[in-house]
Structure 1
Amino acid sequence: MAGRHSRLLLRLRATRVAKTGRLALATLLCAALLQTGCSSVFFYPDNTTYLTPDRLNLEYEDIYLDTADGETLHGWWLPALTEAPAKGTVYFLHGNAQNVSAHILNAAWLPEQGYNVFTIDYRGYGQSTGAPDIEGALHDVETGLRWLAQRHAESDRPLYILGQSLGGALGIALASEWVQRDERPELNGIILDGTFSGFRYIAKEKLGAFWLTWPLQIPLGLTIPDDYEGTDRIAAISPVPVMIIHSARDGIIPFQHGVRLYEAAEQPKEFLRTDTPHAATFIIPAYREAVLKFMGENF
């Protein structure tokens, strides 16, 4: 990370986050960590365009942002589709695979419900430059929120963060610092969907799930700093309301992670237990309605 400018808000050593505990990944994780201690094996970006908002009959604007350390981030601004003024804006942070074009369906239902959506690709994903790592991703989500804050400056409409999986972990770190530093505009709610409860915790859990890496879970787990474990940071988001969504059928991030985050969070908080595969929450209309209700009650 030599030469990177200090981020304005977040301070975090380079870390990596594991998404899956399948045997092949465990083997790769073992080899990579033995070589580097922290490895980009935890990120799975590509630059394929899977789906663009216009194919979903959504208006959109391509947004390009320059980071303080010389990268260029690509994002999409999706305005609300209602004639009335937007009910609010949702900052969507996607998971760790592919790029935003593969995740856009998870937020594409919101403009029709009267919400603007802003989303970015982290460095190394899609059209964003650079190579992915956790410190860089935290820098990127802050850059996106600061751009959104400028665009949102004259608005009296609420602002929410919706993070899925890795995006939720980044959102916890970002929101906790934003709230504690009394940044503006205020956040009106944080929604975490299928989020792991800590970088080090999930890494040790995945290492311990496979015989090849089981003996290494403690020494290799210690190579991942615990500065921003979700369970340590989530309480600092209060008094901003938090909604934690987790599926009892999540085969990637076990249900216990959602429970741990909920127990560590301060009031006001809400827990939604679901029964879909990982990151498939919003294919179910009832779960969309629960999120709309949460946002409608917190503005």
Structure 2
Amino acid sequence: MSDDVPHSSRRRRVRKSKPASATQGRDRWILSYADFITLLFAFFVALYSISLKTQGNDRRLTETLNGVFEAVQKSVKPINIGQPIIGDPKDQDVVNAKAIPANPPNMEEKLQNPVSATITPKPTIYDLLNNTINNDFKSLQKSGQISISESPHWINLELKSALLFGAGEYQLTNEAVALLIVISNILKSYPAPILVDGNTDNLPVTSNRLISNWHLSSLRASSVVDELVYRGVNPKLIAPIGFASEHPKVRNTNSEARQQNRRVVLRISKTQAGNLYDYLFK
């Protein structure tokens, strides 16, 4: 009798497990229902696409239909968020950087049209000095007190001694200081070797303070250099030199000719250099 009881209880437990498996089979309709809903959604999207077709937008119709069928396919597959990354993320950044075009469209247009990309060249020191003389010191230029010229290697800014000094003097006048301030501002912007040479006529000096025209021409050139250096010109790029009457502009035949020979000339080199000494002697 004791043996029958376990046997009957085992039978009852087996019979109770069958309704559970039947319940699992009945729940499988949810999968079919989900597929039906997905297809129904695709159907309505397709109807919307057909309405786009009536408006003549073939490209949007194609994109929409492709999106619908891809959505149906992805509904039974795992959906990936974003693009898969293969390899090291650092390598992916390199790939993305390579995908960026080297030359933007605007740059390509500039390369094809070099005229539009031309940069205005910086004005030369000769242009600035010449414009300053023509605009600010036009009367001095007309009277011959100041002039500018150039050669293949030098720019020559000539200042008459009567504009800078009194008769037989080597100290600058107030008008000369104002003029040299303007000139120094240009020279500071374009650093280059500068020689300042003083010249006199052939008449002997009459002042007790001066020994000769060599002395006078050197002191006048030094006064100009001192003022330019005081106003900010690099002292390593400038030096005075006196020629006395040994380098006349015209022959010393009369007072007018002697007046032309009494002058100070700023000779500005067109070649850049670190200092004047190396430029002249090395």
Shorter-normalised TM range: under 0.3
Give the structure with the higher percent helix: 2
- Give 1 or 2: higher strand fraction: 1
Higher relative CO (CA 8 A, sep ≥ 6), structure 1 or 2?
A: 1
Which protein has the larger Cα radius of gyration, Structure 1 or Structure 2? 2
Give the alignment's TM-score, normalised by structure 1.
0.26
